[in-house]
Structure 1
């Protein structure tokens, strides 16, 4: 059963399907194959003893799964929710329950006919049956929804944040209904006494058990101090709580949920999730999902004569929640496509839907035929979310008309929107110093979005993302909070201090938790959401006390390269060598200009920095001549392509000359803050020599372009042999430890000319100048000599 569910999961990964779909589908396929083989084969493969063993193991997995759900649920976040998501959550919970009675009425019509043929009396027309059916339709599976948003890279868009916020409330309301209302429909008025006992247990857990656990956890704030033997007592407490609620007459899963809510939040809760997730959610819980699929009689549903009524009932069941949430969000002014996508997301089902469905089966509140129809409906509801949203909702469409995502095309009085990506507080300090340089007194204000990049681990992503919908929620974590949340608070303080000192600017902080190999897509979506003109990234090396750049994390380099390949705006890569704050010292900046769109964008950024009264800017234009000006041979054979290439080069030269001329004219009127110089380079050997001469003047910051649009074969070959191609040729030389500079470096890539293609193309070496092959090593030797 586990193997089949994993196999189906990997087959459905191109469609971004969650584990719930693969587990249910695996169970339905197994059930259908066994039923087609006859009752004899079914009894041989699944005898009574095997079924009882599977049910027992599945129940253990279910307890773990619900316990982890309680660990992820944050009641403070629900209680502090704003009005809009609360109203949407309430409407998307209650209205589908009322509309769900119509679809169940159609099912009862078909169900009655089927039972009459077999000579049985129909007993599934009671209010309890309608309630259980309707409750399944009102549920939104928050963990499943979070995983879908992560796969679709919508977690940090406006749609994703609102969906997570509403799903959190919806999930809480449904679990509350499951604990307090479902027992009355299942057990009648006898449930009053058990509910009173459960309420007493909840109060005991909150006011007695939780403070006791907080004291125990506070003694070991580091999660690595906990041994497996000590954690085994936590598991014993879990089964004790489930057994106690079972004795009190409530569902045992209520005890697992209450116990999960009682565990203190922070690093200890993360440790429990890390240790329990694979065991409970990946191996034991799938048995429950597959068992639900095995209970589904697909053959019987397909063979029934009343197929039209079944189809109508399924369609009505699917549309109830979609139509409700669509209408409410349209009332609040959400666009049509976004409202439709939101309705699909809120229609995602989770484990609670199947729990309620199985209780209705076990208590004979739902027939086997109705159970099969609802299971198929849940499968279709969840399966359809990802493919349809991929078609109808793509965030890039909303921003396709806004193509001017560059600093160069912004007016000096236009608000500059910048997205800053950091991994730790050290990066935040350097980025704030860059933002100070950009927030000159004579230029427009900055609107900054600071995002801490965190690698996705387990099931924590959805919870943290939903909690960080409110920036104030960071202040409500306990003292045992994890390192990432502590770093987030420090980072938020850095940018808050920036806005306080430099009034008129605005800064927001958030987290991006995603797998590092695809986190660039989350950065894209957030940058488009914020309509940023510049994304600032930290270099993967940091400045050490010995005066060298040391590797922080090699993965950060891959992230930077992935972002630069297809960024939706200009990108700045910052190499921080302890750049001083403008509050402490003046800054002398040098802008190196060779030519091309990247250099023009870098000039625009450096030009803005001159608006600050404590900044002096020197622009050095490096003119390539002689051997250095040779262009690589083109492979195009078409005369049209050759003519286009020549025209492009001439246009680039005109744009470069225009930018330089404008700067020189402005520099004449601002001699105290702006200066212009020219340096000629006749060969590749002259590049490090000129850079060393420039570096002798002791600049604080280099601003330069990454290098697109340059046609020099010398620079192209040097880029093929660069250690860090994301920095470009000049940036790679200046940032290398062998160069010996103590200046920080800001490398800029302009949006609109295609992203960088990283990789070394050794096949084209033969087309370059013969002496080029020896240039990289000789250039580095010259840099050491100077």
Structure 2
């Protein structure tokens, strides 16, 4: 083809081609120079997609939208049709040369994305799923598929202009897309909305998992038939044989090798690349068998071991896989969709079709939930959640478009419907379902205000096994009785990075542990045999504690979210479980030298966020490493009382612990006199909240006197294991000397209040010098390495006295330096 013929055909708009100049004379490399003619176009397009995706995600982040919505919207924006220009604004960048390479790399992205989806799925869920979730998933597949046939008939008669697409394959493909629910996207939305661990969240996530598994099974069986007709039966049979080979033959030796190398920490990036090569190999096999390359990637992800290896693999490959490769596929789908012309010509009809598509899942969810007596509102909310689409729906549409099973009009309508259905899920659920309204009646729960015969509910939060072992040290001091039992909720806090990895695993663990508690089974040992990683070790620690302590029940929970928002999960779980106290681990841990060193700065941020707006009392536990069981030795506890609601709550906890037969409690009341007792009225009124404006200094003293006298008359006079003492302090140096004197006795645990309501000018100013303000003034000093204490510390904040604002500066440092007592009183913590 010469240049004149190319110009003639281009003017006639018959074909779109470009000059192919041969740079390599060899038969194999008989093509253009890739580095000069293809790579620059590909680089520009990838750069354009990545920038557009990041911008869209930043805009949609406050709306709790998943990544794939931003990626799809970026594709829409890049390829948006402008009638005045009769082209897209980035038409020059979207050249044919670059698109070829762009589409090829995007297929690598979708293969990796599906592989990670396989890692996130767990086939055991199908065996342990409850009837309610299974019914919702099955009904949510059958009814939308039936309605999908009718909806496509409307699309085919009213929008599709070319009759050649009127095939049974198109009906099947369209209906299959309608039935899809993506559980990774559902988990992301539920986690961001902080309803993942509610009743609705658990049902929605389990139903979405089962629905997603059914959709993948239908994909394997139907897509070969849709594409190849009767010849597709051979592809289905061969794919099933390959799946059985991978699961029963390849999986056992492969898992053994991977687990051994993981336990020995022998992995590096070069060795991990072999795993990704395995993904491509399995994808190639299923593509050759006539199914699709993503099926092989999914199978390979399903057969790999869960736990530490999976977390490590995703962490190492997250950036390049989900950060750069996967968005290219979503963007390519968006670039194929000419939304503006379709909506301009058939706007009202397109809206009507989208409403029908949304109603298909909602109707099925309402029908299924009515069998179990669930409210219609919850059924509608489940239906909206089950409308969440993901990558599988786009893969199916991409196959239909590429193989000319569906028309461009039907493709665009469905892509935009998928985008719209997923976008509206978060805002609608946020309006329909608000857990705080449900649990509002359970507020004002504190240890001080609980009745003597009430069950005490404590939520113990941990990040790792070491913190769990240390948390048992303080939980053992609580005395569960037949009249007043103790219920402990062991909450493991897991940071979510990137995709919703292990969210499903956490949900399954909760169901297993609840079942084991009811049946008296020691499922923790069974779990550790299957998955030897931190989550199961933590479960075992709490379950062993429950076994060794009478009148104590333990329930293991998991909260997975980003550290910046995980405190909201703690709020919701504390409300749901009606906890009276939340115990948080200190962000520093004890070393072999006896000093405290920072474990993770993010832990400190979590503790401060929880204290700002917790729905119950909060305690921070500074573990000094004394992990001897109370059944082997007695625990000596020192309670330091100065005054205020936090100290009264701390005294209530110490009082409860004193009833344990193996504890010895000493309460020392520090009386502020002289300069230390100067009133700080301004700080008191501003920092205390609503209650501080009502209770003045004298009222606080009256409450303190009343509670301390009750403790002395009831506890001290009737127990030989409880002692009480009063000490006066007149200056800041007196407080420092007194604390040093008390610490020399060698107590195992110090219990004290955070310090709100003390109304002392000196103590208020000292808070500005605190290295760890979440511990309060006295707690910060005791936790300082320069203080040299070997005792564990438990700092308590009582609910109902206003939130603590750690970001607000209470005084200027230069002003604090004018007080001669400041620098001498508390040395800075290292």
Q: Does 1:143 align with 2:189?
A: no
Contact 1:471–1:509, Cα closer than 8 Å, also in 2? no
Q: Distance in 2 between matches of 1:606 and 1:153?
A: 33
Residue matched to 1:290:
331
Contact 2:362–2:379, Cα closer than 8 Å, also in 1? no
Cα shift at 1:597: 1.0
**1:411 corresponds to which of 437, 451, 459:** 451
Residue matched to 1:241:
282
Contact 1:210–1:262, Cα closer than 8 Å, also in 2? yes
Residue matched to 1:435:
475
**2:216 corresponds to which of 175, 194, 204:** 175
Q: Does 1:308 align with 2:361?
A: no
Q: Distance in 2 between matches of 1:269 and 1:212?
A: 17
Contact 2:156–2:166, Cα closer than 8 Å, also in 1? yes
**1:128 corresponds to which of 164, 169, 179:** 169
Cα gap change, 1:327/1:690 in structure 2, threshold over 3 Å: closer, same or farther?
farther
Cα gap change, 1:12/1:551 in structure 2, threshold over 3 Å: closer, same or farther?
closer
Cα gap change, 1:308/1:555 in structure 2, threshold over 3 Å: closer, same or farther?
closer
Residue matched to 1:498:
545
Q: Distance in 1 between matches of 2:463 and 2:388?
A: 32
TM-score by length of 2: 0.86
Contact 1:630–1:714, Cα closer than 8 Å, also in 2? yes
Q: Does 1:24 align with 2:72?
A: yes
**1:277 corresponds to which of 318, 322, 339:** 318
Q: Does 1:445 align with 2:491?
A: no
Residue matched to 2:36:
none
TM-score by length of 1: 0.91
More deviation, 527-536/102-111: 102-111
Q: Does 1:723 align with 2:765?
A: no
What does 1:350-361 align with in structure 2 at a 5 Å threshold? Answer: 350-361=390-401
Deviations along 1:380-403, one digit per CA (max 9) or x if unpaired, are 111111222222322222122222
2:636 is paired with a residue whose SS is strand
Contact 1:100–1:317, Cα closer than 8 Å, also in 2? yes
What does 1:260-275 align with in structure 2 at a 5 Å threshold? Answer: 260-275=301-316
Q: Which has the higher contact order (CA 8 A, sep 6+)?
A: 1
Residue matched to 2:516:
none
Cα shift at 1:574: 1.0
Cα shift at 1:782: 14
**1:564 corresponds to which of 595, 606, 611:** 611
Contact 1:574–1:744, Cα closer than 8 Å, also in 2? yes
Deviations along 1:401-437, one digit per CA (max 9) or x if unpaired, are 2222211121121111111011222222221122221
Contact 2:239–2:286, Cα closer than 8 Å, also in 1? yes
Superposed CA RMSD: 2.9
Q: Distance in 2 between matches of 1:520 and 1:644?
A: 25
Q: Distance in 2 between matches of 1:652 and 1:148?
A: 45
**1:317 corresponds to which of 350, 357, 379:** 357
Contact 1:721–1:760, Cα closer than 8 Å, also in 2? no
Q: Distance in 2 between matches of 1:671 and 1:236?
A: 70
Cα gap change, 1:771/1:219 in structure 2, threshold over 3 Å: closer, same or farther?
closer
Q: Distance in 2 between matches of 1:740 and 1:230?
A: 46
Q: Does 1:377 align with 2:417?
A: yes
What does 1:218-233 align with in structure 2 at a 5 Å threshold? Answer: 218-222=259-263, 224-233=265-274
Deviations along 1:525-576, one digit per CA (max 9) or x if unpaired, are 2222222111011122233333333333333222212211111211111122
Unaligned runs of 5+ in 2: 1-48, 514-522
Contact 2:144–2:175, Cα closer than 8 Å, also in 1? yes
**1:533 corresponds to which of 574, 580, 592:** 580
Q: Does 1:684 align with 2:732?
A: yes
Q: Does 1:201 align with 2:242?
A: yes
Cα shift at 1:507: 0.7
Residue matched to 1:626:
674
Cα shift at 1:92: 1.6
Cα gap change, 1:266/1:499 in structure 2, threshold over 3 Å: closer, same or farther?
closer
Deviations along 1:264-312, one digit per CA (max 9) or x if unpaired, are 33433333323333223221222221121122222222222x5433322
**1:217 corresponds to which of 231, 236, 258:** 258
Residue matched to 1:421:
461
**1:593 corresponds to which of 601, 619, 641:** 641
Contact 2:463–2:492, Cα closer than 8 Å, also in 1? yes
Q: Distance in 2 between matches of 1:657 and 1:613?
A: 27
Cα shift at 1:754: 1.9
Cα shift at 1:655: 1.7
Cα shift at 1:83: 2.3
Residue matched to 1:95:
143
1:535 is paired with a residue whose SS is strand
Q: Does 1:69 align with 2:102?
A: no
More deviation, 464-473/689-698: 464-473
Cα gap change, 1:124/1:776 in structure 2, threshold over 3 Å: closer, same or farther?
same
Q: Does 1:345 align with 2:347?
A: no
Cα gap change, 1:591/1:163 in structure 2, threshold over 3 Å: closer, same or farther?
same
Contact 1:471–1:510, Cα closer than 8 Å, also in 2? no
Q: Does 1:158 align with 2:158?
A: no
Cα gap change, 1:338/1:676 in structure 2, threshold over 3 Å: closer, same or farther?
farther
1:470 is paired with a residue whose SS is helix
Cα shift at 1:659: 0.9
Cα gap change, 1:775/1:318 in structure 2, threshold over 3 Å: closer, same or farther?
same
Cα gap change, 1:781/1:252 in structure 2, threshold over 3 Å: closer, same or farther?
closer
Residue matched to 1:391:
431
Cα gap change, 1:519/1:637 in structure 2, threshold over 3 Å: closer, same or farther?
closer
Residue matched to 1:747:
795
Residue matched to 2:823:
777
Unaligned runs of 5+ in 1: none
Residue matched to 2:662:
614
Q: Distance in 2 between matches of 1:249 and 1:394?
A: 47
What does 1:448-597 align with in structure 2 at a 5 Å threshold? Answer: 448-459=488-499, 460-471=501-512, 481=531, 486-579=533-626, 580-597=628-645
Q: Distance in 1 between matches of 2:285 and 2:370?
A: 46
Q: Does 1:664 align with 2:712?
A: yes
More deviation, 156-165/55-64: 156-165
Cα shift at 1:475: 6.1
Q: Distance in 2 between matches of 1:544 and 1:239?
A: 45
1:69 is paired with a residue whose SS is helix
More deviation, 199-208/158-167: 158-167
2:239 is paired with a residue whose SS is helix
Cα shift at 1:736: 2.5
Cα gap change, 1:173/1:36 in structure 2, threshold over 3 Å: closer, same or farther?
farther
